[in-house]
């Protein structure tokens, strides 16, 4: 399964929700992302079939190692880019929205160099 932007967003949301609550369900994802329940159900079925999540008998969703790697990478990019954009004067709402767009398209090398520059300039910790 090729991981597209929407898939990264879903996996990132599962990670974010799992940090906030003990159990993540499809309805939680649908609510947070403002997607329909059927759309989320289809996505979760695809993720489960491709080994990115597991779903227990209670409908609780967990990321597998492969899903967690993608979610963490996406989340790390999102957080750094948001923080960097805010530091250069972009309002927080716009920074979050723009970071979400950029996080999917930036190359690993460019992200690494932005991280190094941000640390060197003490824009981030």
pTM of the model: 0.87
pLDDT tens column, 27-57: 999 999 999 999 999 999 999 999 999 999 9
| CA proximity to 73, closest of 120, 15, 2, 6 | 15
pLDDT exceeds 70 at position 20: yes
Fold that domain 5-69 belongs to in CATH: Arc Repressor Mutant, subunit A (1.10.10)
pLDDT exceeds 70 at position 125: no
pLDDT exceeds 90 at position 122: no
Report d(CA 100, CA 92) in Å as an integer.
Answer: 12
The CATH number of domain 73-119 is 1.10.60.10: yes
What are the structure tokens assigned to 48, written together? 């489960």
Contact 90, 61 (CB under 8 A): no
| CA proximity to 68, closest of 14, 22, 5 | 14
pLDDT tens column, 58-70: 999 999 999 999 9
In the chain, where the domains are located: 5-69, 73-119
pLDDT exceeds 80 at position 2: no
pLDDT tens column, 69-105: 999 999 999 999 999 999 999 999 999 999 999 998 9
pLDDT for the residue numbered 1: 47
How many CA atoms does the CB half-sphere of 20 hold within 13 Å? 11
pLDDT for the residue numbered 91: 97
């Amino acid at each position: 399964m090729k991981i597209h932007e929407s898939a990264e967003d879903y996996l990132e949301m599962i990670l974010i929700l799992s940090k906030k609550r003990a159990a993540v369900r499809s309805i939680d994802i649908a609510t947070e992302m403002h997607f329909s329940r059927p759309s989320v159900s289809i996505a979760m079925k695809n993720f489960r079939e491709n080994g990115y999540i597991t779903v227990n008998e209670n409908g609780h969703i967990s990321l597998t190692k492969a899903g967690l790697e993608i979610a963490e990478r996406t989340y790390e990019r999102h957080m750094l880019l948001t923080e960097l954009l805010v530091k250069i004067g972009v309002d927080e709402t716009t920074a979050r929205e723009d970071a979400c767009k950029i996080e999917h398209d930036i190359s690993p090398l460019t992200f690494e160099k932005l991280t190094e520059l941000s640390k060197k300039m003490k824009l981030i910790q």
